[in-house]
Structure 1
């Protein structure tokens, strides 16, 4: 982590030369994080990959710092493969469940089962 973070006044901060890993599936993630935390992001090296999963894998390989969703990173964090040294910040993003079918009993049961599963597993 010392390659990417400095400890200033007891708090971790991104180093000015830390490579930020961006995903095409959520290219605004670093800017959103910066706004939510009131932290300016100076110009620094960065790399764009196709999906959040790929930037998490690149971070695990030591190629830079990734900004990802907790639910996609939690197993790697729990196992020690990844770390969240600055933590997670709610940014207002949400998931939507859409169906091409009207709200038939089958669709309603499926929706409720999915929501139940999501609540159980975070």
Structure 2
């Protein structure tokens, strides 16, 4: 299952009521939004133990009120929360409400306790946005 569900999550910033906890609450309709015009921004989840993770699934609210957008982000991993390695280099991921507003990122399986998403761009809004941050083991 989703190893990030209900786990502690931290952020570099958030706008209004759109805090990081919304990304691990199991509801893609609630979301995190970073401060506007302030890239880069990050979300970090602590899985509570080390797991052989190999995939993250990122979701935005599925509502048709959201236009398609591409968010540029990288995935970093850590076993101790202080030393980070790049799990997946920065790339653009398309979120399209017509196809569920979901992006899946796969990478080589390795033991990680912490995963961090670092957002550096968004074609739909000048902030990082995420409805659900799901993490899966191999």
Report the structure number with the largest CA radius of gyration: 1
Give the structure, 1 or 2, with the largest relative contact order (CA under 8 Å, sep 6 or more). Answer: 2
- Shorter chain as denominator, the TM-score bin is under 0.3
TM-score (norm 1): 0.25
Higher strand share: 2
